Chains A and B, each alone.
Chain A
Amino acid sequence: MVENGIGASLRRKEDNRFLTGKGNYTDDINRPGQTHAYLLRSPHAHATINSINISAANSAPGVVAVFVGQDLLDDAVGGLVCGASVTGKGGEVNKAPPRNVLTIDKARFVGDPIAVVIAETLAQAKDGAELIAVDYTELPSVVSTSGADQPGAPQLHEECPDNVALDWELGDKAAVDAAFASAAKTASVRLINNRMVTNPMEPRAAVGEYNSGTDEITLYVTSQNPHVHRLVMSAFMNIAPEHKFRVVAPDVGGGFGSKIFTYNEEAICAWAAKKINRPVKWTADRSEAFLCDAHGRDHVSTAEMAMDADGKFLAMRVSSQANMGAYLQLFSIAIPTLFHGFLLAGQYTTPAIYLEMRSVMTNTAPVDAARGAGRPEATYLLERLVDVAALEMGLDPAEIRRRNFIKAEQMPYQTPVVQCYDSGDYDASLDKALANADYDGFAARRAEAKGRGKLRGIGLSAYIEACGVAPSAAVGSLGVGVGLWESAQVRFNPTGGVTVFTGTHSHGQGHETAFAQLVTERLGVPVENVEVVHGDTDKGQFGMGTYGSRSLPVGGVAIANACDKIIAKGKKIAAHCLEAAEDDIDFAEGNFTVAGTDKTMNIAEVAFTAYVPHNYPEGVEPGLDEIAFFDPLNFSFPAGTHVCEVEVDPDTGTLEIVNYTAVDDFGVLVNPMIVEGQVHGGLAHGIGQALLEGCVYDDDSGQLITGSFQDYCMPRADNLPSFNVDYSPTIPIHNPLGVKGCGEAGAIAAPPAVINAIVNALGIKHLDMPATPEKVWRAAQAAG
């Protein structure tokens, strides 16, 4: 048994620097001769730009340069791109309206950048921006998801008639319609998946620097995927060729999806640094983050279920509309389609499913992946619909789920919506969750609460997600423009320490610890002798970054495979040194041993020999340093059941989550302490969406109403309970480490569990998120 290997709740290696103020975030970086960039943004949701006069700004004190969109075009800087193309109805690929780094013709949302002022100080840059005169002609705007494609709606892009970017469908419509025609019972619900502002606590930032001696650009940036940032800015934006472009994502203060994408400001810092031959720094303030970071969710859907007389699901039909915002961001078009539709089977055997999804453009910030990315929307819709179905059938919500679950013995299970689940025992996780939540005792607790004037409710959510993103061939065939393999390099240094380069990026997930544990488990090297390096395109090999709960299921396997290459080479070296046949060498817990003898050589000795190869096997290269790339064969499918119990005060509409129970199947846990923390954080995100968070634009003016932490309700310590977290693991057949990913589960599972509990407490059919006290109070009053 290796100490501090897989399964150890090892304290995190990265904590010391974060706890002592020695983290190195992008805004902590200052370069000699640095200038500061400030972006002038449109105050209007929709306006024609007639002219931009920068002459006064150009001569303002401290101003170094002012640039508008045409300046970047003149330098052949390309626009921002959507890296996925999805084929819709009639074989029509989604529209991809162009987006300049600084918009030239029109402003399409409040915050759309028009010009950048670069000055000696940030204050001077801001003062300079005040002097830019922009002549706008205001246009009517549309912000509403359901209103964007209505007749007479203001039009954003001539490429998108009726503001429709894509009409997409999935499944067998005829089979679904036939099942509905003959169903004994049907259930239906119309629901809104509220728009969220992702809000990692660190605002986005970038520092660009140019070395005229080597003609190289370095960009420090808040990124979840620095290699992808470099690729996009090289291949599509023409900032610099990849081999002359270094992108560094140092410590990053949370991402949750919003730091996957390439943004205007980052490209500007990289480009302008060369243009003015001085470092250029930009840091968003929170108001800019609200205006301009990619938002998440924002669907309006109608979902229907057809059932037989026993409540067995026969077919599901969904009609949905997704708000893309003013421009398509890097993966926007893939989220409500591929990452949403493919999960609509959930944990159930529903034989026929049909989804119509229309993606529309509006005068709002772009919408893209946010923690869960499409899967929370699918789960919310499905798990709400299942509760409505239970209501229609007069069945207990747990019972209707059991009747429709895919059974463990049916694995692997091909759903009617593309995905083939490889493992899972949904009855087991439901049973454990019900036991842990004392589901059987709920009636007594409800009665007791009623005596105190409180309405108590309980809600379930049996969720599934597709993680370990993703098999390259599969996503390629669906229109995603990149491969989604992962890479690792495991390098022994001559004195026995190990440096691990991963293509993933850690921005809170604790990779420096968990990945070191993997190496310790595999190679038997003490965990303190393993250093994990990520986030610098000049240090590590190409990698795809971190999102979609992929780092351990994909990146972790790459690390394990690189370790195995180290072991294979080490066996040759040890066999030579121990004067034995290679086949007779066993490797365990860091030692190469001649089978059946006590002749042994530690891996650190083997590493030293590899670098000082005086007595060395013929034909073997010196050095002990191996790279592995891993492309998964399937997604992974974390799943589980969550149970939420609430108490509502009908007189005030306030509510308390009195118990929250999670039972998740993540397969093998490498560091259970970190996994539990990921669950907690996901739950806060999901409960935030259910109760508190909602991004609101004014319907008339298109102004962002929830533009600060004073207006947009983030979950705070006193909004949340402590959580009851447990596991019900099954082992995935496709993942060599047996891991599934855990970073998004809470955000996916929690919203329907919470709303199902509130609806249960109030005795109503549905309530839209966020369930604010006002909404709950009105519903409680109406329900009597």
Chain B
Amino acid sequence: MPTVSMTVNGKSVSGEVEARTLLVQFLRENLNLTGTHVGCDTSQCGACVVHVNGDSMKSCTMLAVQANGADVTTIEGLAKGGEMHPMQQAFQDNHGLQCGFCTPGMVMSAIDLVAKNPNPDEATIRSELEGNICRCTGYHNIVKAVQQAAKTMGG
């Protein structure tokens, strides 16, 4: 079986995987990082979004071996020194989550969104989050959370 090595949340990790192992399986099953979720089997829902070399990526749509050598950040890697990332904090402040299942992917997508669009308007936020499905919130408070985080992340 191939061996993969990568940096996940700042730590070097490696493991043996079947060639068909998806990145999300490697994270959940080999590394027990169960914060990254699987909500569909057609790359639609976005519950599995992580950052690979700084870009948001659906980890169900990438083989673990494709992430060999990459720098991966998951939802578990965002909080620093017990302080939540501004996007995590904004989701709590604005009640941008209910059941929490889509939340990790939503937060990871939203961070990448703001990194690439520092001052997004509502239409941009809605358009950029089209790849993340939430059944609970109706997105209203997610949009508000991203707007708040864009302000705090910007400065």
Point out residues on A near B: beta carbons under 8 Å: 11-12, 14-23, 25, 27-28, 123, 199-203, 251-254, 256, 285-287, 507-510, 673-674, 676-677, 680-685, 708-710, 714-718, 720, 722-723, 746
Q: How far is the CA of A197 from the CA of B88 in the complex (A)?
A: 30
A-B contact pairs, 15 of them (CB 8 A): A11-B95, A15-B92, A19-B92, A21-B74, A21-B104, A199-B135, A200-B101, A201-B37, A201-B136, A202-B37, A202-B39, A253-B102, A507-B99, A510-B98, A684-B139
Q: Which of B37, B76, B123 has the most CB of A within 10 A?
A: B37
Interface SS majority for chain A: loop
Assess whether B47 is interfacial by the CB under 8 Å rule: yes
Residues of A near B36 (CB, < 8 A) are 21
Q: How far is the CB of A383 from chain B (nearest CB, A)?
A: 20
**Binary contact track B126-152/A, C-beta < 8 Å → 1, others 0:** 110110111111111111000000000
B79 adjacent to chain A (CB < 8 Å): yes
B118 located at the interface, meaning its Cβ lies under 8 Å from any Cβ of chain A in the complex: no
* B132 partner, pick from A19, A677, A717, beta carbons under 8 A: A717
The answer to whether B47 touches A201 (Cβ under 8 A) is yes
Closest to A506 in B: B99
A-B interface, 9 closest residue pairs, ranked by CB to CB distance from nearest: A21-B35, A253-B101, A18-B100, A508-B99, A684-B138, A680-B138, A709-B44, A508-B98, A21-B75
**B37 and A19 contacting across the interface, CB-CB below 8 Å:** no
B65 interface hit (Cβ, 8 Å)? no
Per a CB cutoff under 8 Å, which of A285, A508, A718, A723 touches B136?
A508
A723→B140 contact, CB < 8 A: yes
Residue with the highest number of chain A CB atoms closer than 10 Å, among B95, B126, B141: B95
Whether a CB of chain A sits under 8 angstroms from the CB of B78 is: yes
DSSP majority for the B interface? loop
| B100 in complex: contacting residue of A14, A27, A673, A709, CB < 8 Å | A14
With known contacts A20-B75, A20-B78, A12–B135 Cβ distance under 8 A: no
CB of B125 within 8 A of CB of A286, answer no
Known: A200-B99, A677-B95, A684-B139. A21 touches B34 (CB 8 A): yes
**Which of B40, B79, B125, B137 is close to A709, meaning CB atoms less than 8 Å apart?**
B40
Closest to A253 in B: B101
A251 CA to B34 CA, complexed, in Å: 13
> Which residue among B39, B44, B76, B140 has the maximum number of chain A CB atoms within 10 Å of its CB?
B140
Chain A residues positioned under 8 Å from B99 (CB to CB): 18, 200-202, 251-254, 507-508
Tell me if B45 is interfacial: C-beta within 8 Å of chain A: yes
Measured between beta carbons, the chain A residues less than 8 angstroms from B127 are: 717-718
Which residues of A are found within 8 Å of B39, using beta-carbon distances?
A: 201-203, 253, 286
Check B42 for interface membership: any CB of A closer than 8 A: yes
Q: What is the CB-to-nearest-CB distance from A121 to chain B, in angstroms, rounded to a whole number?
A: 9
Cβ contacts B15-40/A at 8 Å (1 or 0 each): 00010000000001000011111111
Contact (Cβ within 8 A) B45 A710: no
Starting from the known contacts A708-B41, A722-B140, 18 additional A-B residue pairs (CB-CB under 8 Å) come to A18-B103, A20-B75, A21-B34, A23-B35, A200-B101, A201-B37, A201-B39, A285-B41, A510-B98, A677-B141, A681-B135, A709-B44, A710-B44, A716-B132, A717-B125, A717-B143, A720-B139, A723-B140
Bound-complex Cα distance A23 to B107 (A): 14
Contact of B40 among A27, A286, A677 (CB under 8 A): A286
* Chain B residues with CB under 8 A of A746: 138
Q: How far is the CA of A752 from the CA of B129 in the complex (A)?
A: 27
**Contacting pair A680 B84 (CB below 8 A):** no
Q: Is A677 a contact partner of B44 (Cβ separation < 8 A)?
A: no
Q: Check if B98 sits within 8 Å of A509, measured CB to CB.
A: yes
Residues of A within 8 A of B133 (CB): 201, 709, 714, 716
